[in-house]
Amino acid sequence: MSASYPLVVRCDLPVNVGTVDATKAVHVHELALCEAIARTVLDRVEHRRVTRVALRIGHFRQVVPDALTFSWELLTTDTDLEGSELEVEHVPATVECSECGAFTTLQLPVLVCGTCGSHTVTLRTGNEFLIVSCDVAEEVRDGPVPPPQ
Protein backbone atom coordinates (compact mmCIF):
# COMPACT_ATOMS: atom_id res chain seq x y z
CA MET A 1 0.00 0.00 0.00
CA SER A 2 1.48 3.31 -0.98
CA ALA A 3 0.24 6.80 -1.57
CA SER A 4 1.49 9.43 -3.93
CA TYR A 5 2.08 12.88 -2.58
CA PRO A 6 2.69 15.85 -4.81
CA LEU A 7 6.02 17.25 -3.77
CA VAL A 8 7.36 19.89 -6.06
CA VAL A 9 10.66 21.04 -4.67
CA ARG A 10 13.17 23.10 -6.48
CA CYS A 11 16.56 21.92 -5.30
CA ASP A 12 18.75 24.88 -4.62
CA LEU A 13 21.86 23.80 -6.42
CA PRO A 14 24.27 25.93 -8.39
CA VAL A 15 23.97 25.63 -12.12
CA ASN A 16 26.23 27.09 -14.73
CA VAL A 17 24.24 27.61 -17.85
CA GLY A 18 23.97 30.65 -20.04
CA THR A 19 27.61 31.58 -20.21
CA VAL A 20 29.16 28.14 -20.66
CA ASP A 21 30.39 26.93 -23.99
CA ALA A 22 30.74 23.32 -25.07
CA THR A 23 34.37 23.04 -23.99
CA LYS A 24 33.67 24.29 -20.47
CA ALA A 25 30.42 22.44 -19.77
CA VAL A 26 30.08 21.74 -16.09
CA HIS A 27 29.85 18.08 -15.21
CA VAL A 28 27.49 17.83 -12.27
CA HIS A 29 28.42 15.27 -9.70
CA GLU A 30 25.59 12.75 -9.40
CA LEU A 31 26.46 11.82 -5.84
CA ALA A 32 26.02 15.42 -4.71
CA LEU A 33 22.70 15.58 -6.54
CA CYS A 34 21.51 12.38 -4.87
CA GLU A 35 22.53 13.72 -1.46
CA ALA A 36 20.42 16.81 -2.06
CA ILE A 37 17.46 14.72 -3.22
CA ALA A 38 17.71 12.28 -0.31
CA ARG A 39 18.01 15.06 2.26
CA THR A 40 15.04 16.89 0.78
CA VAL A 41 12.81 13.81 0.66
CA LEU A 42 13.79 12.48 4.10
CA ASP A 43 12.98 15.88 5.62
CA ARG A 44 9.41 15.49 4.44
CA VAL A 45 8.39 11.84 4.76
CA GLU A 46 8.41 11.55 8.59
CA HIS A 47 9.94 8.08 8.74
CA ARG A 48 7.59 6.58 6.22
CA ARG A 49 9.23 4.18 3.83
CA VAL A 50 9.64 5.73 0.40
CA THR A 51 8.88 3.52 -2.59
CA ARG A 52 9.44 5.93 -5.47
CA VAL A 53 10.89 9.38 -6.09
CA ALA A 54 10.07 11.17 -9.33
CA LEU A 55 12.47 13.76 -10.68
CA ARG A 56 12.48 16.14 -13.60
CA ILE A 57 15.98 16.88 -14.82
CA GLY A 58 16.93 19.24 -17.61
CA HIS A 59 19.44 18.32 -20.31
CA PHE A 60 21.85 21.03 -19.16
CA ARG A 61 22.21 19.38 -15.77
CA GLN A 62 24.54 16.92 -17.49
CA VAL A 63 23.27 14.01 -15.40
CA VAL A 64 24.46 10.54 -16.37
CA PRO A 65 21.47 8.24 -15.66
CA ASP A 66 23.54 5.18 -14.69
CA ALA A 67 25.69 7.24 -12.35
CA LEU A 68 22.58 8.73 -10.79
CA THR A 69 21.02 5.30 -10.18
CA PHE A 70 24.25 3.95 -8.74
CA SER A 71 24.68 6.95 -6.44
CA TRP A 72 21.09 6.66 -5.29
CA GLU A 73 21.45 3.00 -4.30
CA LEU A 74 24.71 3.78 -2.52
CA LEU A 75 23.30 6.70 -0.55
CA THR A 76 19.94 5.27 0.41
CA THR A 77 21.15 2.00 1.93
CA ASP A 78 19.95 1.73 5.56
CA THR A 79 17.62 4.70 5.21
CA ASP A 80 13.86 5.07 4.71
CA LEU A 81 14.72 5.46 1.04
CA GLU A 82 16.34 2.05 0.67
CA GLY A 83 14.92 0.14 -2.29
CA SER A 84 13.07 3.14 -3.62
CA GLU A 85 12.84 3.66 -7.33
CA LEU A 86 14.30 6.82 -8.81
CA GLU A 87 12.15 7.83 -11.75
CA VAL A 88 13.68 10.49 -13.97
CA GLU A 89 11.90 12.53 -16.58
CA HIS A 90 14.53 14.04 -18.83
CA VAL A 91 13.72 17.49 -20.19
CA PRO A 92 15.39 18.58 -23.43
CA ALA A 93 17.13 21.95 -23.59
CA THR A 94 15.22 24.45 -25.69
CA VAL A 95 15.82 28.09 -26.49
CA GLU A 96 13.59 30.78 -27.95
CA CYS A 97 15.18 33.15 -30.44
CA SER A 98 14.69 36.87 -29.94
CA GLU A 99 15.51 37.58 -33.60
CA CYS A 100 13.21 35.17 -35.45
CA GLY A 101 11.06 33.67 -32.69
CA ALA A 102 12.01 30.08 -33.49
CA PHE A 103 12.34 27.41 -30.82
CA THR A 104 15.41 25.17 -31.01
CA THR A 105 16.16 21.97 -29.13
CA LEU A 106 19.83 22.01 -28.22
CA GLN A 107 22.15 19.03 -28.11
CA LEU A 108 25.17 20.94 -26.83
CA PRO A 109 25.20 23.63 -24.16
CA VAL A 110 25.69 26.33 -26.77
CA LEU A 111 22.97 28.94 -26.78
CA VAL A 112 22.26 29.52 -30.45
CA CYS A 113 19.17 29.63 -32.66
CA GLY A 114 18.97 26.62 -34.99
CA THR A 115 16.97 28.59 -37.56
CA CYS A 116 18.86 31.87 -38.02
CA GLY A 117 22.07 31.28 -36.02
CA SER A 118 21.45 34.18 -33.64
CA HIS A 119 22.95 34.03 -30.16
CA THR A 120 20.21 36.30 -28.84
CA VAL A 121 18.20 33.45 -27.38
CA THR A 122 16.47 32.74 -24.09
CA LEU A 123 16.71 29.37 -22.37
CA ARG A 124 13.16 28.03 -21.98
CA THR A 125 13.75 24.47 -20.75
CA GLY A 126 16.72 22.31 -19.87
CA ASN A 127 17.74 23.89 -16.59
CA GLU A 128 15.28 21.92 -14.44
CA PHE A 129 16.18 20.03 -11.35
CA LEU A 130 12.95 19.20 -9.59
CA ILE A 131 11.65 16.57 -7.23
CA VAL A 132 8.17 16.17 -8.68
CA SER A 133 6.63 13.67 -6.27
CA CYS A 134 7.39 10.80 -3.99
CA ASP A 135 5.41 7.69 -3.08
CA VAL A 136 5.50 6.57 0.53
CA ALA A 137 4.27 3.43 2.27
CA GLU A 138 1.33 3.97 4.60
CA GLU A 139 2.84 2.67 7.83
CA VAL A 140 4.88 4.99 10.02
CA ARG A 141 8.08 3.67 11.55
CA ASP A 142 10.24 4.91 14.36
CA GLY A 143 13.46 4.65 12.48
CA PRO A 144 15.08 3.41 9.31
CA VAL A 145 13.61 0.30 7.75
CA PRO A 146 15.77 -2.76 8.45
CA PRO A 147 17.21 -4.39 5.35
CA PRO A 148 15.21 -7.32 3.97
CA GLN A 149 16.11 -10.77 5.30
Residues that bind Zn ion (CB under 5 A): 97, 99-100, 102, 113, 115-116, 118
How far apart CA 12 and CA 17 sit, in angstroms, is 15
Which of the 8 DSSP states describes residue 108? S
CB of 96 to Zn ion, least distance (A): 9
Our CA dihedral for 146, 54, 110, 16, rounded to 10 degrees, sits at -50
How far apart CA 42 and CA 37 sit, in angstroms, is 8
CB of 27 to Zn ion, least distance (A): 29
CB of 11 to Zn ion, least distance (A): 32
Among candidate residues 95, 35, 88, 37, the one with its CA nearest the CA of residue 63: 88
Helices (H), 46-113: 65-76
Q: Which is nearer to Zn ion, 82 or 96 (CB)?
A: 96
CB of 95 to Zn ion, least distance (A): 9
